[in-house]
Chain A
């Protein structure tokens, strides 16, 4: 049971990681940490077939996700790794270099031939291991350059003379990189701290400043398959104002934020921040029967969004679902219940 000990040790270590961080780090760091976790699992766990590997990964991943269910990225990374495993398995069985579009959503019901399911196949587990590890390394690399690659597309979507509005610039690594590589003439940042490299306005000024804005660039926390976006709380005000003044809204996100899950109603999963951020603790006695609302996220419906920029592409919300099949395998998210 050496691998059981190893696995449980890895589990403990990753849980410790979550507990240690008082303030949530940027999503990319979290994604990298998750990939490392799964990488270690692949490396140290014991398995014979691909299916066993998939089962181990899924068990650990779901356990972790159940413990921190507001972090989509955990599950997203799990799905990425699972897809990597399946791809690796496929290349080894079919012996070909090019990966077939197994999970092409357009024709997955109409296969011309049926490939053997992973559990029936005998593959070399060492080869599988090395293949998956390579895949994970590539994915990590892609996360590292995602901010830069998104910023490279800025020149296509924005002009130097644009007046750009954004939300909480200094709290998003992606946006910071974006604006450092692309110098727009005027940048308004809503609700930011005054030291940000932009004109900071208060959120009450959103509607009146929107009249002067030509583009809105925002950062997403998660992109859902119907094109709607989960963003930091307060972004909805900006998007509604932009819609009213017909200003294009652009969301930037790395691929690790693509979430294959629909959220019909935000209340079911929305996380609340600390109530003392809103009402100071000194007034707790005075307001003992008052509830405090401090949501962390807003759900932005797809009709308010013009464009979604990922590191490889720019898509309208209607076409975001095609990205899902680029990164995830259909088998894995078909049975998602939550």
Chain B
């Protein structure tokens, strides 16, 4: 697990997932800088898209900070002797903190060496300095106050923009979570083959930047379970939203298990505070949105935390949360899948010829087919696959042929031929939008289109936990954890959604949202 390289100090058992206290003396800071210099980012070659930005903005940020106050430099020199984390730090003339100034000095030193190492080391020191501002020793009320004050003087002032950029760039190029390497598929294509839907480039920012609460994910304040999850996703060990959701549940349980709340805050506030950097780590600080169903889970989890009764014991609260997560996993996976399988089979019973056409691999559809094969013996499955994108249909083909179900396999160009032979189309989805549009793997819409042309029904297996209260016209969003290409299937091409509640037409999506209280206003 190369990703854990940055996390080189074990966390003491009774401290929250919070940083080690950063020693204040310049010598120790220099020592850390040396240590960080020798550590090179794992995918150094992949960082170029962000490092030039990072390195450009970092020296740019350094310069205004450096040149503006020689006085502040002197102040900084004196400051290490003082106690740390006091509010008077923030009452500087230009709102800089002592740690920032120390960073400048380091940056200037390192800039003389290789620029790349200088940028990363500075960012590392920056992050460490950033964490020094919320040490466990800081007084309780000042922790949020510090942050608030820190943000407030920063924003209206001149160095604010480069400072923000610095933070932004640093979190982007933080090597532990840098996923640019696997993201862009277009490496081998020439410049001309660029379409808007092909841009899975991860350094792209969305058009609207949601101003979120910037807490960077650093090696220190992120639980290793989340980083493991991110690593698994990057190495494509998790295919599809279903596996991702299950893994996410497990990660959340681990997190709650290991979590020790801050002594100064009530449990619910403290855990929601510390949940933030974990999520930032996974989503690159809000640059990439989560896949829809995962976003649902996070929202509900946060809601649960919010509704916690803080007067209870901490271990009680933790067990409550863990139970909630486990229940959610049980209801949304085991039970929901059983229900969906039952509903679909009852539909298949009424058909004369059971010839199912499906696209790539959806674990729920696989379950449906395997269960149906036990009941019916005239089942025939046609699997359409996309060879450019992992050929996951082949894994489905394997499991089905092991169960000795007669199968036919083809690529997308065989849709026109296979659709004349099938009698029903079964698709999986990763989310259902408010309007009834289905978010599914790219290519599923072609099946739905051909099926409509020959008048066969299209059924989409959708768990109610994947219903989201969002409206989207279009597809090609590169989501935070899953790099698979997705698209939306228009609702008029879908005959029905098989949910764990009942089989509904796509126009009933808002009703399902209401029934399950997944709406935003609830």
Q: Contact residues of A with B, CB < 8 Å?
A: 188, 191, 194, 199-209, 212, 232-237, 240-241, 244, 265-267, 270, 278-279, 283, 286-287, 289-295, 298-299
Contacts and interface: CB of A to CB of B under 8 A. Distances in A.
Contacts of A205: 195, 197-198, 442
B404 A289 contact: yes
B412 A278 contact: no
Contacts of A267: 417, 420-421
Contacts of A286: 398, 401
Interface secondary structure of B, over-half rule: mixed
17 contacts: A191-B413, A201-B193, A201-B198, A203-B413, A204-B442, A207-B487, A234-B415, A237-B415, A265-B420, A266-B420, A270-B417, A278-B411, A283-B394, A290-B409, A291-B406, A291-B407, A293-B382
Contacts of A207: 445-446, 449, 487
B190 interface: yes
Interface of B: 188-190, 192-198, 382, 386, 388-389, 394, 397-398, 401, 404, 406-418, 420-421, 442-443, 445-446, 449-450, 453, 474-476, 485, 487
Give 10 closest A-B pairs by Cβ, nearest first: A234-B413, A293-B410, A236-B416, A204-B443, A295-B417, A298-B416, A233-B413, A293-B414, A204-B442, A291-B408
Given A236-B450, A278-B410, 7 more contacts: A208-B476, A233-B417, A289-B406, A289-B407, A290-B407, A295-B410, A295-B414
B192 A199 contact: yes
B386 A204 contact: yes
A294 B411 CA distance: 8
Contacts of B485: 204
B64 to A, nearest CB: 43
Contact of B449 (A212, A233, A237): A237
B425 to A, nearest CB: 14
Given A202-B386, A204-B388, A266-B420, A240 B453 contact: yes
A289 B415 CA distance: 21
Contacts of B189: 194, 200
Given A240-B450, A267-B420, A233 B414 contact: yes
A244 B450 CA distance: 11
A204 B391 CA distance: 13
Contacts of B442: 204-205, 208
B449 A240 contact: yes
A205 B197 CA distance: 7
A207 B197 CA distance: 11
A287 B397 contact: yes
A208 B446 CA distance: 10
B398 A208 contact: no
Given A205-B442, A278-B409, A237 B198 contact: no
A209 B411 contact: no
Contact of B194 (A199, A212, A289, A293): A199
Nearest to A197: B192
B409 A292 contact: yes
B490 to A, nearest CB: 8
A295 B193 CA distance: 27
A290 B415 contact: no
A209 B197 CA distance: 8
A291 to B, nearest CB: 4
A65 B263 CA distance: 88
A206 to B, nearest CB: 6
B420 A241 contact: no
Nearest to B414: A293
Contact of A291 (B404, B409, B449, B450): B409
Nearest to A235: B416
A308 to B, nearest CB: 19
B56 to A, nearest CB: 32
A200 B388 CA distance: 13
Nearest to A203: B412
B427 to A, nearest CB: 14
Contacts of B195: 188, 199, 201, 205, 209
Given A204-B389, A236-B416, A270-B417, A293 B409 contact: yes
A275 to B, nearest CB: 9
A230 to B, nearest CB: 11
Given A203-B443, A290-B397, A294-B410, A237 B417 contact: no
B417 A206 contact: no
A212 B418 CA distance: 28
Contacts of A236: 415-416, 450
B408 to A, nearest CB: 4
Contacts of B196: 212
A234 B445 CA distance: 14
A293 B412 contact: no
A237 B398 contact: no
B190 A194 contact: yes
Contacts of A206: 446
A287 B443 contact: no
Q: Which of B192, B476, B485 has the most CB of A within 10 A?
A: B192
Nearest to A188: B195
B401 A290 contact: yes
Contact of A289 (B401, B421, B476): B401
A267 B421 CA distance: 9
A295 B475 CA distance: 30
B477 to A, nearest CB: 12
Given A199-B195, A206-B446, A287 B409 contact: yes
B197 A234 contact: no
Identify which of A191, A199, A203 gathers the most chain B CB atoms within 10 Å of its CB: A203
A270 to B, nearest CB: 6
Nearest to A231: B416
A204 B194 CA distance: 15
A237 B450 contact: yes
B420 to A, nearest CB: 7
B416 A208 contact: no
Contacts of B406: 289, 291
Nearest to B391: A279
Contacts of A235: 416
B446 A293 contact: no
Contacts of B413: 191, 203, 232-234, 237, 295, 298
B184 to A, nearest CB: 15
A234 B412 contact: yes
A22 B283 CA distance: 52
* Central interface residue in B197, B388, B408, by most chain A CB within 10 Å: B197
A237 B446 contact: yes
A329 B445 CA distance: 44
A201 B442 CA distance: 13
Nearest to B442: A204
Contacts of A244: 449
A294 to B, nearest CB: 6
- Which of A207, A236, A279 is most buried by chain B, counting CB atoms within 10 A of its CB? A207
A242 B474 CA distance: 17
B213 to A, nearest CB: 34
A208 B485 CA distance: 12
Contacts of B412: 191, 203-204, 234, 237
A295 to B, nearest CB: 4
Contacts of A194: 188-190, 193
A287 B401 CA distance: 7
A208 B414 contact: no
B404 to A, nearest CB: 7
